[in-house]
Amino acid sequence: MGSPPLIPDQRHQLLLQLLRTDGVLSTRQLTDALGVSHMTVRRDIAALEANGQVVSIKGGVRLAGAAAQEPPRARQARSALEMPRKQAIARTAVTLIEDAMVVYLDAGTTCQAIAALLADKRDLTVVTNDFYVVTSLLDRPEIQTIHTGGVVDVSSGSSSGRLAARTIGAINIDLCFLSTGAWSVSRGVTSPALDKVELKQEVMSRSSERVLVADSTKYGSFTTYAVTALADLDVVITDDGLAERTRQSIGELDVELRIATLQE
């Protein structure tokens, strides 16, 4: 006997998983992958589109950009999302940090998790635009901490813009960790805010090594402004939820891919 047919919720989750791998799929590809009729696929797409998760295009569907999926959430609300993945990524990321380095930590809970793991590092300088990172390092006087300044974004607890970029322009950075809410092989790293793009690009230009830290749930989506192609990064650190086909695509870009394993 064959496997029982998937219920709608199961199909929706599988459809989203496929889109996170490929970004865009035709209706024909989905009927083959899901083993259902054209009309069933169209109903599934309509349901996901109503929730803001996908966008219908001629002949198929694409994953909605992060900016179109949901309104910005406060940092406190986002901090609990996917924490095992973020902590696993942080544990892998901190192995790249050596004593006496100048390290940039981007805004976000993944980089905040990296900051919490710096206890055994010596003569470290941490540069960041994230107020939560700064606060977490206040009881670590042995770590020199530099905040970029700039225009404050209350929802993310960080700052950005030209003033922040000018601060970065005066610093030589050994290793930068960039965060993002949307990334893919085809679109690279993107951001919904132009002032954040300006800061991230200045950080990349001042850094000897550029590392993206982003969990697999954010893969396959994109927002308005391009930050960088994945090929311009040195390392990508993500979790083991990334599809094997996507891992191979990143490897073909001559970018080192490090997969963080979640602790049981």
pLDDT tens digit string along 65-97?
644 344 445 555 555 556 889 999 999 999 999
pLDDT of amino acid 80: 54
pLDDT of amino acid 245: 86
The count of other CB atoms within 10 Å of the CB of residue 206 is 18
Q: Are 104 and 213 in contact (CB under 8 A)?
A: no
pLDDT of amino acid 70: 41
Q: Where are the domains of the chain?
A: 8-63, 75-260
**175-205, pLDDT tens digit by residue?**
999 999 889 998 899 998 999 999 999 999 9
Domain 75-260 has CATH 3.40.50.150: no
Show the tokens assigned to 183: 């990334």
* Type of residue at 228: T
Alpha carbon distance 153, 134 (integer Å): 15
CATH code, 8-63: 1.10.10.10
Give this prediction's pTM.
0.75
Identify the CA nearest to 97 among candidates 168, 179, 171, 174: 174
pLDDT of amino acid 162: 96
Burial class (CB in 10 A: 0-12, 13-18, 19+), 247: middle
Q: With bands split at pLDDT 50, 70 and 90, how would you rate the model's confidence at 133? A: very high
pLDDT of amino acid 219: 87
Q: Are 187 and 222 in contact (CB under 8 A)?
A: yes
Q: Are 158 and 178 in contact (CB under 8 A)?
A: no
Please compute Rg for the chain using Cα positions.
Answer: 20
Show the tokens assigned to 28: 């024909």
3-state class of 15 per DSSP? helix
pLDDT of amino acid 74: 54
Q: With bands split at pLDDT 50, 70 and 90, how would you rate the model's confidence at 222? A: confident
Mean pLDDT of the chain: 88
Mean pLDDT value of segment 35-62? 85
pLDDT of amino acid 22: 66
